[in-house]
Amino acid sequence: MNDTTSSPTSRREFLKTTGQLAAASALAGVSLPYVHAAEDNTIQIALIGCGGRGGGAARNALAVKRGPIKLVAMADVFEHRLQSSYEGIKKERPDQVDVPRERQFLGFDAYQKAIDCLRPGDVAIFTTPLAFRWVHFTYAIAKGINVFMEKPLTSDGPTSRRMLKLAEEASAKNLKVGVGLMSRHSRALQELGKRIQDGEIGDIILMRGYRMHGPVGSFASLPKPEGISELLYQVQRFHSFLWAGGGCFSDFYIHIIDHACWMKGAWPIKAQALGGRHYRQSPEGVTYIDQNFDTYSVEYTFADGSKFLMDGRCETGCNDIYSSYAHGSKGIAVMSKDGDCGMPSMTFKGQNLKRSNMIWESKVSADERDPYENEWNDLVDAIRDDKPYNEVKRGVEASVTTSMGRMAAHTGQEITFDDMLNCEHLMAPDVDKFTMDSPAPLQLLANGRYPVPMPGITRTREY
């Protein structure tokens, strides 16, 4: 699978040329003849992290408008997860999946083997828990591989600073890097952003975001069962552990936080927050021992004094709200009507969401309604046309902003953006050296539970 004869430059130029020819042929309404028979213009992808989001990202990649594109390698630490993902994708897109057993890799070093199956100009998908993001990105940069990586990118200061440096290295090598903050690729939110910038609702003075619903994913975890190591248990249930996924706050709330700050055109400078652990037992009476709070409420402050309120809750039987709003001096905008970036986006005169007050409602063509597909089409367009494309810096800033709110809740302190970025608590030391026999970064206390945030008691780090 390795193409050692094709240099990054020649392959990149080839992809650019064939992409332009494909676009021209589509406009002309004629079929594209086969070009450069000696060189393949197929973009190959490797999937590293084969869980639910990994499978979704791979499907989105294979559905891009400007193919050809093919899945050629997969990697995970769980064989059942890799096999399930492989079988599902293969069934849906048999002609675009070429991953024989010898290109299905297991273990903490499997990412290297999967990336080694690619050629410069191909794409590696990183959908493992965030703790491994910088490790995999470092290797991809060294190999000259383009990347799509899922959010969040970081959960602590040291890895955030490391990722910012890696972003510069990737740009210096002209690599294209997409980050899975798909709200940025919502055509409705893109239009809303222009309207807000043009003053349609006046100056933004307050924004509100809500993600409140019952427990989902691995939000709550019971004591580790037999038959799995402590490390693999924490990787498997990464929503429960701050080192692995930033907890539910980072993984669940980052989308609304990111698009709210995008609409504002700034990152907040500080946050204060509260939250708590309320119902910590399963229906059978066993105590949940994850690190999450059940409720969070964060007040972010921007440099101009305006505010953004983010409320999160994972409890059953409560009122579910999953939406976001921007209040301006002249009107209000619905950023997401339902979900992380659910259409339609809308603007209104005044502060009442009445149809009679509506100024604008988003209308998006059917082929651009899915932001998950849009983000892949945008990335592949950049690869084919050799346009600068690197979303990592913004992805790190969104991750730091999210972590800032989480840390404010977990410590009970006011946390600034710089506090979070420069915090020295490294949550997963030596993650690049993990093996199947490594100890977990989070160890059980004598009482059989994991360390949890204690606001006002543990004040300079989250646990």
Q: pLDDT (tens digit, 9 = 90+) per residue, 299-316?
A: 999 999 999 999 999 999
Would 447 be classed as within a structural domain?
no
Residues 263 and 412 in one domain: yes
Closest alpha carbon to 314 in 248, 367, 224: 248
Residues 133 and 26 in one domain: yes
- Match 């983000």 to its residue by tokens: 375
Residues 6+ apart with CB under 8 A from 180: 53, 57, 148, 149, 150, 151, 375
E strand spans, 214-351: 270-276, 295-301, 307-314, 321-328, 331-336, 346-349
Give residue-wise pLDDT tens across range 218-233: 999 999 999 999 999 9
What average pLDDT score do residues 151-156 get?
98
Residues 302 and 164 in one domain: no
Give the bridge partners for 281, in sequence order. Answer: 287
Alpha-carbon gap, residue 380 to 66, rounded angstroms: 7
Give residue-wise pLDDT tens across range 79-120: 999 999 999 999 999 999 999 999 999 999 999 999 999 999
Residues 221 and 277 in one domain: yes
Would 43 be classed as within a structural domain?
yes
CATH value at residue 196: 3.30.360.10
pLDDT in the model for residue 448: 86
Collapsing DSSP states into helix, strand and coil, what is residue 323?
strand
pLDDT in the model for residue 16: 52
Q: Are the C-beta atoms of 219 and 412 separated by less than 8 Å?
A: no
* H helix or E strand, kind and range, residue 44: strand 43-48
Give 7 or 279, the one with higher predicted confidence. Answer: 279
Q: What is the pTM of this model?
A: 0.91
Residues 115 and 27 in one domain: yes
Give residue-wise pLDDT tens across range 200-209: 999 999 999 9
Would 293 be classed as within a structural domain?
yes
Percentage of the chain exceeding pLDDT 70: 92
Give residue-wise pLDDT tens across range 326-345: 999 999 999 999 999 999 99
Residues 245 and 149 in one domain: no
pLDDT in the model for residue 279: 83
Residues 219 and 280 in one domain: yes
Output the CA torsion 364→370→371→377 (10° steps): -100
Give residue-wise pLDDT tens across range 237-259: 999 999 999 999 999 999 999 99
**For residue 4, pLDDT beyond 80:** no
Name the residue range of residue 110's domain. Answer: 8-183+372-390
Residues 90 and 130 in one domain: yes
pLDDT in the model for residue 39: 60
Distance of CA 350 to the CA centre of its chain: 34
What average pLDDT score do residues 179-190 get?
98
Collapsing DSSP states into helix, strand and coil, what is residue 2?
coil
The mean pLDDT value of the chain amounts to: 92
Domain count, the chain: 2
H-helix segments, 93-215: 110-115, 133-143, 157-172, 187-197
Residues 125 and 169 in one domain: yes
Q: Please, which contacts does 131-134 make with residues 24 or more away whose CB atoms are closer than 8 Å?
A: 131/155, 131/159, 131/238, 131/243, 131/244, 131/245, 131/427, 131/428, 131/431, 131/441, 132/49, 132/431, 133/159, 133/163, 134/159, 134/162, 134/163, 134/166
Q: Which amino acid is at 56?
A: G
Phi, psi of 56 (to 5 degrees): -65, -45
CATH value at residue 71: 3.40.50.720
Residues 224 and 334 in one domain: yes
Instruction: Give 228-248 as a DSSP string.
Output: S-HHHHHHHTGGG-HHHH-HH
pLDDT in the model for residue 10: 47
Give 25 or 177, the one with higher predicted confidence. Answer: 177
Would 298 be classed as within a structural domain?
yes
